[in-house]
Structure 1
Amino acid sequence: MQFLDQKLDDYVVAHSENEPEVLYQLNRQTHIKVLQPRMLSGHFQGRVLSMLSHMIQPKNVLEIGTYTGYSALCFAEGLADGGCITTIDVNYELEDMVQEFIQKAGMQGKIKALIGDAMEIIPSLKEEYDLVFIDADKGNYVNYYNLVFDKVKKGGYIIADNVLWSGKVLEDYDKLDTDTQVIMDYNKMVQADERVQNVLFPIRDGLNIARKL
């Protein structure tokens, strides 16, 4: 499913900040070398994530789902002085590519990439986070939210990607696959959670942004 009409998408991109050269290179290399490049945040959404980071100026960021590192590099642009991003991914095959572009961007002192099962790693993390970005296996979205919630500072943010799931969230729940059902469960749960203020933004495949009260 095309997120926006292609001409409208092109217009949006043309009237948004250019992606930095290193991210342009990473974008191209992801499309050339990696399966499912659609998973990449990409130019427009990446600029949104960068702007959010500049607005929040987080000290500590937790990202669940590194992929090729594009979104982590976007968040790194707005880190507070001395800030750090911890990003987790289960796919060790992309580790070299991630590290290559972290170094190209000069962010090796700001981004710590961990390889492993986020469900096992998250409970061992001791930091409090200003921002958590959930963009990993959809079947664990609810679990990730519950795991990280107490680690998020008051006034901090939990951002979940792909919460429109190519429009499948509009279909009959009982006839849907498990991943889509969990995405719908996630959106419903966040909407009902009185501990947060939330807005679901129809940006690309959907960003659910929740601020902890």
Structure 2
Amino acid sequence: MDFEQLNQFADAYSTAEDALLAEINDFTRKNHTEPHMLSGHLQGQLLKMISRMIRPGRILEIGTFTGYSALCLAAGLQPDGILHTIEFRAPTAAIAKDFFEKSVYRDNIKLHTGNALEIIPQLEENWDLVFIDADKPGYINYFELVFPRVKKNGFILADNIFFHGEALKENAKGKSAKAIKEFNQFINQRTDIEKVVLTIRDGLYLIRKT
């Protein structure tokens, strides 16, 4: 059985997208120039399940894109919980905002537009769950910025840690692939966390603060 067969099986035997997630998926693929950046059905369902297991009060997402992953993560929030999500590009943030307004989680999601490195220090929160899915050269900086505010036994998820397989090569080429390779090594060498690599989609690091 090859990877595509496994993916098709996983897709067919996992809970289907709800109507709003399906709408975001369809819109993004038809209208955005980089639809591959969408978390998509399988990873989105995993994010939803992880959030529901943790039951976070505060979530930080770095890299909103069109809002799919934020809505998945918001599904596990406590009733009074808040998800802060940061998108660098204003036009993309506007798309996500429109979808958030259609969601039952609209009052639980706070969307910020701009540079995450400038916005994060202004958020006076302690995080139960952080999802990093933004520009790859910024991953280490994002991690170091949020880690002190992650609660003990809190979780950080980092997406695209395979970077289309390029980050696995001994001589990774390209700025993003090199940055992800460096981030993976940075995480692997730390002794103040517990971590596991999930091989879903483009690779996901699941990290627990010990």
Q: Segments of 4+ in structure 1 off by > 6 A? A: none
Aligned to 1:198: 195
Distance in 1 (CA, whole Å) between partners of 2:130 and 2:114 is: 17
Does residue 1:24 correspond to 2:12, yes or no? no
Does the aligned pair in 1 maintain the 2:168–2:181 contact within 8 Å? no
Backbone CA RMSD of aligned residues: 1.1
Aligned to 1:71: 69
Distance in 1 (CA, whole Å) between partners of 2:36 and 2:97 is: 21
Superposition pairs for residues 1-213 of structure 1, below 5 Å? 5-173=3-171, 176-213=173-210
Distance in 1 (CA, whole Å) between partners of 2:87 and 2:98 is: 16
1:17, distance to aligned residue in structure 2 (A): 0.7
The letter of the residue matching 1:194 is T
Describe the superposition over 1:9-59 as per-residue Cα deviations: whole angstroms up to 9, x where unpaired: 111100001111110011000111111100000001000000000001110
1:153, distance to aligned residue in structure 2 (A): 0.5
The letter of the residue matching 2:74 is A
SS state at 1:160 partner: strand
1:95, distance to aligned residue in structure 2 (A): 2.6
Structure 2 residue ranges without an equivalent (≥5): none
SS state at 1:165 partner: coil
1:192, distance to aligned residue in structure 2 (A): 1.2
Distance in 2 (CA, whole Å) between partners of 1:161 and 1:144 is: 13
1:85, distance to aligned residue in structure 2 (A): 0.3
TM-score by length of 2: 0.96
The letter of the residue matching 1:197 is E
Sequence identity percentage: 41
Describe the superposition over 1:77-132 as per-residue Cα deviations: whole angstroms up to 9, x where unpaired: 11112001000011101233211111111221111010000011112211000000
Structure 1 residue ranges without an equivalent (≥5): none
